[in-house]
Amino acid sequence: MLQRIQTLYILIVVILSIVTLLMPPVVLYPAFAAGFNSYSIGIQGLYLTGDAGELIVSNLFCLTAIAAIIPIVALITIFLYKKRPLQIRLSIVNIILLAGYYAVLFIYFWQIDIKWNLTFFAAIPLINIIFYLLAIKAIAKDEALIKSLNRLR
């Protein structure tokens, strides 16, 4: 049902995933680019930010695709409330996607050999994983309750 606590958890995941998609999780500081302050990895890709504006250096399609798929799968998961085992499986798939987001993110900025700082937005996928684990626990609890009620009939 839509008013269950797992729906709230997954809705929080959707909101935080959209924020992750729009905000840069990593800021890189180059030592060689004159007139530019820092690199940023975001939805547009890897771009230099500076006094004159932004210059896109590289397109990070894989990172953007994973970040866009996560809220879509979460929305689908919300509306499959009558199919709790499928809801649990989709939640596990989304946890794997979130871990894949971290893997791709770290591969991208690890290849660039300069100073880097993680922003708060880099922690959001970890927060999403925690909310998904709470949602899976609540979904499993509902499934156990339904099975026990069916045994009583």
Q: pLDDT: is 11 or 147 the higher one?
A: 11
**CATH architecture for the domain at 5-152:** Up-down Bundle (1.20)
Burial degree of 64 (CB within 10 A; 0-12, 13-18, 19+): middle
User: What pLDDT score does 26 carry?
Assistant: 73
> pLDDT per residue over 116-142, tens digit each?
667 788 888 999 999 999 999 998 998
Handedness of CA 76, 136, 101, 40 (dihedral sign): positive
Mean pLDDT in the chain? 81
Q: Are 36 and 50 in contact (CB under 8 A)?
A: yes
Structure tokens at 100: 């894949």
What's the alpha-carbon Rg for the chain, to the nearest Å?
19
Structure tokens at 7: 């729906």
User: What pLDDT score does 114 carry?
Assistant: 67
> pLDDT per residue over 87-118, tens digit each?
999 999 999 999 998 898 888 777 766 666 67
| Interval 137-151 mean pLDDT | 85
Query: Domain coordinates of the chain in residue numbers?
Result: 5-152
User: What pLDDT score does 52 carry?
Assistant: 63
Task: Report the range of poorest mean pLDDT among 3-17, 52-66, 99-113.
Answer: 52-66
Q: What is the dihedral of CA 91, 70, 12, 92, to 10 degrees?
A: 10
